[in-house]
């Protein structure tokens, strides 16, 4: 634990890139990082560059040069589709392979979905329709994605779905002839049962009898729709080790599971058709497209009022992101995290025994499924994460000391508890006006809603819902108070807690945080579905309207965005007394 991660990324990036990098790290995977770029000497278009570290990918990521080459080839072959991240170019040197892609200006879709709540039926319908459009186009090109899950569903600046990450994509049809795939890959909650349950007599990662990858994609689309509607997966994995899946199979899809009871009746027949265990009987894309629920009217799909509809949709989604800080925090007995698995052939696993029961994964279950992308040492590499854009005004939220004659301690909130300022309404009107422009403030408001000041000036989806994660908060207290409180909370939640620097006392460490104006806590665990969940909790000094505060960001490096949101919510319910709340 210590200061925010430095910019070192193990090896210098290529020097002869045909573009100019304009950001720090905006995303990270097991062996890759993503940054923004523009053409040389220009400010637009802004694109995304995925840098793949060859050493980690080949030596420790269990990937081959052929696999990376296949990802590039298949992604480029897809060309341009409105719901797929476009491939723009690629290159390499001795250390890195880079892929230039369309930038998803809207960020992660599922970062904007409340865990255990989901979105409205109209919004779920909107995004499911676009997902089916993307998957249908891929299949028409003979390509299956094979890794459909929330991490790979991004958004444009207008709120349109953008399917990403083709590292596991496969060619299932060539020259009109279908071929079976036999490698085991994907994420357990979203993977099709025929992939998990096939016979493996020769190698643990290959099936003796192959599967149709396009039909497996259809199963994954059904699970994604379920998650959109309720904010959780229907099971940890589609095997009889999961009692939710077993009951689903035993009742032929008419389970009494509480989450299924939340599904709107009109969607049930669609989900049961998509999630048929026998792939030969599973709904086809044409059957999905013609299902009454899919062909229904949707107020957000009126092309004549497209911009207005997108702003309304973003407003509804932001209103649904709610963390009730009056709720009692979960105890360690309710939510337990553990260290990720050290088995290189196992999934990145962890236990988060919590409600809802999808998080009751058994970390000692020996029937583990091969991971989508195994964790490698690159996940431990400190990255210099891009900060979210500050409020536009020069005297707004700033990471540095404002130029003012009043920089004495009286401009800071006192450091003693109980904390005198807990609500935005207790601050000056100018500070309230400024912070009301921050979308993340609304999730802690006492009553649901989005400030009119946000919606009145909005013309695009991301004017309401920004690209950056809303897993963040502002606090009126100092870094040296927040960090120990966060560490204690992580310990009580059962999250593996990093130790302080061995050669420094607590007082020395706190003095260093205050001197630097920043601190970072490394979070490396796994979620309730036995998948890796990694990132940083970054605490930075901020000046708001001339007053010293702290900004705390939960920066996910890898893992399911809904599980990260759930983790953020649990921490918030433990540290609510230092969170500045909306009006």
* pLDDT tens per residue, range 299-346: 999 888 888 999 999 999 999 999 988 888 776 545 545 455 443 333
pLDDT digits (tens, 9 = 90+) for 9-21: 457 888 889 999 9
Rg of the chain taking only CA atoms, in angstroms: 24
Exactly one of 111, 147, 527, 570 is catalytic; name it.
147
Tokens standing for residue 78: 């897809």
Q: Three-state SS across 37-93?
A: EECCCCCCCCEEEEEEEHHHHHHHCCCCHHHHHHHHHHHHHCCCECCECCEEEEEEC
Query: Is residue 111 over pLDDT 90?
Result: yes
Residue 155 and residue 108 in contact, taking contact as beta carbons nearer than 8 Å: yes
pLDDT digits (tens, 9 = 90+) for 205-263: 899 899 999 999 999 999 999 999 999 999 999 999 999 999 999 999 999 899 999 99
Rounded Cα gap, residues 473 and 490, in angstroms: 17
Query: Is residue 37 over pLDDT 60?
Result: yes
Q: If DSSP codes are grouped into helix, strand and coil, which group holds residue 557?
A: strand
> What is the model's pLDDT at position 415?
42
User: Going by CATH, does the domain composed of 20-102 fall within 3.40.50.800?
Assistant: no
> What is the model's pLDDT at position 381?
47
DSSP 100: E
> What is the model's pLDDT at position 407?
39
Rounded Cα gap, residues 177 and 461, in angstroms: 42
Identical fold, 20-102 and 107-301:
no
In sequence order, the 6+-apart residues with CB closer than 8 A to the CB of 37 are: 17, 19, 20, 21, 22, 23, 46, 47, 48, 49, 100
Give the sign of the dihedral formed by CA 334, CA 339, CA 342, CA 346. positive
> What is the model's pLDDT at position 247?
95
Please report, rounded to a whole number, the percentage of residues in the chain having pLDDT higher than 70: 82
> What is the model's pLDDT at position 400?
53
Confidence class for position 5, pLDDT limits 50, 70, 90: very low
Residue 50 marked ligand-binding = yes
Rounded Cα gap, residues 331 and 66, in angstroms: 47
Q: ∠ CA(327), CA(558), CA(512), 5° rounding?
A: 75
In sequence order, the 6+-apart residues with CB closer than 8 A to the CB of 303 are: none
Query: Is residue 353 over pLDDT 80?
Result: no
pLDDT digits (tens, 9 = 90+) for 531-547: 888 889 999 998 887 78
> What is the model's pLDDT at position 32?
85
Helix-then-strand count for the chain, H and E: 15, 19
Rounded Cα gap, residues 335 and 68, in angstroms: 38
Give the ranges where 436-547 is alpha helix by DSSP (H). Answer: 452-456, 461-464, 479-493, 506-516
Query: Is residue 454 over pLDDT 90?
Result: no
pLDDT digits (tens, 9 = 90+) for 285-311: 999 999 999 999 999 998 888 889 999
Residue 579 and residue 441 in contact, taking contact as beta carbons nearer than 8 Å: no
> What is the model's pLDDT at position 358?
54
Rounded Cα gap, residues 57 and 240, in angstroms: 33
Mean pLDDT to the nearest integer, 166-179:
93
Check residues 362 and 11 and name the one with the higher pLDDT.
11
Mean pLDDT to the nearest integer, 109-123:
95
Most confident range (mean pLDDT) of 48-57, 381-390, 425-434 is: 48-57
Residue 87 and residue 47 in contact, taking contact as beta carbons nearer than 8 Å: no
> What is the model's pLDDT at position 78?
97
> What is the model's pLDDT at position 346?
34
User: Going by CATH, does the domain composed of 107-301 fall within 1.10.510.10?
Assistant: yes
> What is the model's pLDDT at position 567?
95
Residue boundaries of the structural domains of the chain: 20-102, 107-301, 391-578
> What is the model's pLDDT at position 344?
35
- Examine the residue annotation and report whether 395 is marked as an active-site residue of this protein: no
Q: ∠ CA(183), CA(139), CA(159), 5° rounding?
A: 105
Model confidence, pTM: 0.88
| Spacing of C-alpha 575 from chain mean position | 22
Name which of 289, 221, 583, 564 is nearest 431 in CA terms.
583
């Amino acid at each position: 634990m210590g200061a925010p991660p430095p910019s070192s990324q193990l090896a210098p990036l290529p020097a002869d890139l045909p573009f100019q990098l304009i950001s720090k790290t905006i995303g990270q995977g097991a062996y890759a990082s993503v940054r923004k770029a523009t053409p040389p000497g220009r400010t637009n278009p802004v694109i995304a560059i995925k840098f793949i570290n060859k050493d980690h990918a080949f030596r420790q990521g269990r990937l081959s040069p052929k696999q990376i080459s296949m990802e590039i080839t298949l992604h480029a072959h897809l060309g341009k589709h409105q719901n797929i991240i476009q491939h723009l170019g690629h290159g390499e040197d001795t250390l890195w392979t880079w892929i230039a892609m369309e930038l998803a200006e809207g960020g992660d879709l599922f970062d904007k979905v409340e865990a255990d709540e989901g979105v409205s039926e109209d919004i779920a319908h909107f995004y499911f329709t676009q997902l089916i459009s993307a998957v249908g186009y891929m299949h028409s090109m003979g390509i299956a994605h094979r890794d459909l899950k929330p991490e790979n569903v991004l958004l444009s600046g207008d709120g349109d779905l953008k399917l990403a990450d083709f590292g596991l994509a496969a060619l299932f049809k060539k020259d009109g002839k279908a071929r079976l795939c036999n490698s085991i890959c994907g994420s357990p909650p979203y993977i099709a049962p025929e992939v998990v349950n096939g016979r493996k007599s020769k190698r643990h990662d290959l099936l003796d009898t192959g599967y149709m990858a396009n039909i497996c994609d259809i199963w994954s689309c059904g699970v994604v729709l379920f998650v959109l509607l309720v904010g959780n997966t229907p099971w940890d994995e589609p095997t009889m080790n999961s009692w939710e899946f077993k009951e689903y199979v035993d009742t032929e899809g008419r389970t009494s599971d509480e989450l299924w009871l939340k599904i709107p009746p009109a969607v049930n027949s669609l989900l049961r058709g998509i999630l048929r265990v026998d792939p030969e009987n599973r709904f086809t894309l044409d059957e999905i497209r013609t299902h009454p629920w899919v062909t229904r009217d949707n107020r957000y799909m009126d092309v004549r009022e497209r911009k207005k509809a997108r702003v309304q949709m973003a407003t509804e989604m932001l209103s649904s992101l709610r963390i009730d800080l009056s709720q009692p925090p979960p105890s360690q007995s309710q939510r337990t995290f553990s260290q990720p698995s050290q088995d290189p052939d196992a999934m990145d696993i962890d236990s988060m025994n919590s409600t809802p029961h999808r998080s009751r994964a058994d970390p000692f279950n020996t029937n583990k499924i091969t991971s989508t992308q195994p964790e490698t040492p690159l996940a431990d590499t400190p990255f210099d994460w891009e900060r979210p854009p500050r409020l536009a005004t020069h005297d707004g939220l700033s990471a540095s000391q404002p130029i003012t004659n009043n920089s004495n301690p009286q401009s800071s909130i006192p450091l003693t508890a109980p904390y005198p300022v807990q609500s935005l309404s207790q601050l000056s009107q100018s500070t309230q006006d400024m912070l009301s422009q921050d979308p993340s403030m609304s999730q802690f408001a006492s009553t649901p809603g989005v400030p009119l000041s946000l919606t009145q000036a909005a013309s695009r989806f991301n004017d309401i819902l920004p690209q950056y994660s809303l897993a963040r908060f502002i606090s009126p207290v100092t870094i040296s108070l927040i960090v120990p409180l966060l560490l204690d909370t992580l310990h009580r939640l059962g999250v593996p807690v990093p130790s302080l620097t061995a050669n420094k006392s607590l007082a020395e460490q706190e003095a260093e945080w205050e001197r630097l104006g920043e601190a970072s806590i490394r979070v490396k665990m796994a979620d309730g579905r036995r998948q890796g969940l990694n990132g940083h909790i970054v605490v930075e000094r901020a000046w708001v309207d001339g007053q010293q505060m702290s900004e705390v960001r939960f920066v996910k490096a890898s893992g399911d965005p809904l599980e990260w949101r759930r983790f953020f919510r649990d921490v918030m319910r433990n540290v609510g007394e230092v969170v500045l709340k909306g009006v």
